[in-house]
Structure 1
Amino acid sequence: MASHLMNSTILMITPFHKKSRGNKLTSERLQTGLQKRGWTIDLLSLESDDWQCILSGALKEKRYSLIHGLNITYFSRVLSVFPDIAQLPLVLTTTGTDLNYDIQSSFKPEIAETLNAVKYIVVFDDYFRTIFQQFYPKSASKLVTIPQGVSLEKRKGPDRNELGLNENDFVFLLPSGLRPVKNLEFAIDALEKLHPEFPNLRLLILGAVIDQKYSEFIQKRIRSLPWTVYPGEFPHDQMYGMMSLADVVLNTSYGEGQPQAALEAMSLGKPCLLTAVPGNLNIIVNGREGYYIQSQADMVAAARILITNRQLCRQMGENARRLVEKKYSLQKELCGYEAIYQRLLPGN
């Protein structure tokens, strides 16, 4: 990266930054990676009580050359409070719930205004282009597809024993924040059917409490299931070690942007079972890196195959690792965003 780009300071705005969830991890990964390439990037979380004061002061000082927002819904709220930011080049990254639910629920003028104001709209997968073509066709020409990159620090976390797991347990990993859209009960109910057949089956749930009511429901549900382990939230820098303990990774969401945690586990050679929903679809080839599932019966059947055929499980895991290395590399992701920034900040 040429040194003159250090003169351009970029503001990245994320809706969430307190708990380990997609927007936090994406914004931190991009900020860290792009800063290593010479970009100056500040990060502002809308969870900060004084975010409006911070942004107001920065705009008065003309501190930023470009603003990069994550999540259409939340970025539209920023734009409604600070319409003058539209005078700067704006980049938007869509992150999941905003695409699968918010922009499809009904036409919202503030969403249309935001999409009109931004110069580029990043989606994680080409599938999401169809949503824009249907609901906001005038914005379709602004779309850029940049798959998420995977970045895992190779640090140890708790071992199996510390998590209440035995060495011979077959562990299904469900890395997910506890909120309704993640549909954790799908995995619990399906594996409960399989557990009598395979007593060493375990389900390890890793994620933050995001929706309090739903979290209480899930924790009450698993209290009577000793084969299900939920140790609570752990910092992201321990995920490498904890994901390494698993045999298979799950994503049972109703809808996704792109399941970052599942990709992280796949990068460690774990095959996956993914619900066949937007955001999960197009990640794998069914039967090569794992399986797509549409029902609990599908999940029971696929899980049984992986438990009983360890050689196939290992081969699918290796296929998953290669896929992530090829398609979801951090370097490719950073190059994609860097290209956008360079187009919008020529000569800076």
Structure 2
Amino acid sequence: MRVGIISPNYYAEETGNAVTVRRVERHLKELGCEVKVFATDRMAGEKLQGAVAEFAPDILHAFHAYHGGRMACVLSKVLGIPYLVTFTGTDIYNALCDQRNLELHGALRGASRLVAFHGCVRHRLAKHMPSLEERTAIIPQGVDLPVDCTTLPPAEEGSFTFLLPAGLRPVKNVLFPLEPLAALYAAHPQVRLLLAGPVLDKDYAAQVMEALERYPFARYLGVVGHDLMGDLYRRIDVVLNSSLSEGGMANTVLEAMAYAKPLLVADIEGNRSVVKEHVTGLLYRDSGEFVAKAGELLADARLREKLGKNGKAQVREHYSPDKEAVSYLNLYREILQAK
């Protein structure tokens, strides 16, 4: 089977969409598919159409309903091939609710099937477009289990480090942890915060850089290659997610669990779909809860160990990239048989 993937990102390897697409591409190829990715941030218009036509896929698979789905919809009409769309985050939590929604509706209605990472995303779609709920399949994100989970020495001796892996843009809300962690740092000077991720919004990134100057315990690492993130996870103590929304489950949350790291995450739908309170991590609703739970993790090594162990077991049982790829392949076959 020849599968053409339409993705808003691919060459910026550290973005969530690129991580997802590269994983799915790799595992589909292992199943015998011929796969080619067309990144809309590198190619558009007639050039993209020509490249897809030359590849001659049997089916198109768009990631991100707005940035990928709209292009897949156009290509489907021109080339006469079916397409499906996987929701990845801002498409379901933002684009359906703002000025982009009319364009988005067309892309979704034209798709043979839709895919959500979790039932909470399908439920949200049903509130806006109830007729599409039955056409939406649930395929959880996969995550590759690391070969080596051995703890490495901390980047700074004697430190207790929180890691926030996220692109710098408003929806990731990376400014939030600074003030509550400052309160914790006042009582526990070993506290550190590391931010790692690409600049995706220059204005917001400028605000982050300005804010970091006021918090001596915090440091921005810049872009850390996905192949180097494993060593970073192994050197830190707790992984954070402060997002305002996530498309069912964040890659970084699943990766932290794969590395047996405890989580402290915002109490939002996408995080609740993966993180269970005091089982695989801790959830917070405001700065007061953040400080209290960050302090709990700092003080209780046994709790950190329990959360990390449970998280790794959950990833191993429920988030297999092999199962993810097989589920997509079965869906492709179902779509093509119905033509």
TM-score for the superposition, normalised by structure 1: 0.90
Partner of 2:84, secondary structure, is strand
Alignment-derived partner of residue 35 in structure 1: 29
Alignment-derived partner of residue 189 in structure 2: 199
Contact 2:70 2:107 in 1 (8 A): no
Structure 2: tracts of 5 or more residues without a match: none
Question: Paired residue for 2:238, among 245, 248, 268?
Answer: 248
Question: Paired residue for 1:166, among 129, 144, 156?
Answer: 156
Contact 2:233 2:256 in 1 (8 A): yes
Contact 2:61 2:72 in 1 (8 A): no
Question: Paired residue for 1:120, among 106, 109, 113?
Answer: 113
Question: Paired residue for 2:319, among 323, 328, 331?
Answer: 328
Residue type matched to 1:262 in 2?
V
Match runs of 1:283-302 below 5 Å = 283-302=274-293
Partner of 1:127, secondary structure, is helix
Matched, 1:311 2:302: yes
Matched, 1:26 2:20: yes
Partner of 1:345, secondary structure, is helix
Per-residue CA deviations over 1:184-232 (Å, capped at 9, x if unaligned) read 1111111111101111111111111111111111111112322112121
Distance across 2 between alignment mates of 1:62 and 1:283: 37
Change (3 A) 1:35 1:217: same
Partner of 1:173, secondary structure, is strand
Change (3 A) 1:32 1:109: same
Match runs of 1:81-160 below 5 Å = 81-82=74-75, 84-85=77-78, 87-105=80-98, 108-151=101-144
Distance across 2 between alignment mates of 1:306 and 1:214: 29
Matched, 1:273 2:241: no
Distance across 2 between alignment mates of 1:175 and 1:70: 21
Cα RMSD, aligned residues only: 2.2
Question: Paired residue for 2:68, among 48, 53, 75?
Answer: 75
Question: Paired residue for 2:167, among 165, 177, 181?
Answer: 177
Change (3 A) 1:346 1:204: same
Distance across 2 between alignment mates of 1:69 and 1:85: 16
Distance across 2 between alignment mates of 1:76 and 1:90: 9
Stretch of structure 1 that moved more, 10-19 or 25-34: 10-19
Distance across 1 between alignment mates of 2:104 and 2:258: 35
Partner of 2:186, secondary structure, is coil
The CA deviation at 1:155 is: 8.1
Match runs of 1:26-65 below 5 Å = 26-48=20-42, 50-58=43-51, 60-61=53-54, 63-65=56-58
Percentage of identical aligned residues: 29
TM-score for the superposition, normalised by structure 2: 0.92
Distance across 1 between alignment mates of 2:114 and 2:263: 29
Contact 1:58 1:64 in 2 (8 A): no
Partner of 1:91, secondary structure, is strand
Change (3 A) 1:208 1:152: farther
Partner of 2:183, secondary structure, is helix
Partner of 1:280, secondary structure, is helix
Contact 1:154 1:241 in 2 (8 A): no
Matched, 1:220 2:196: no
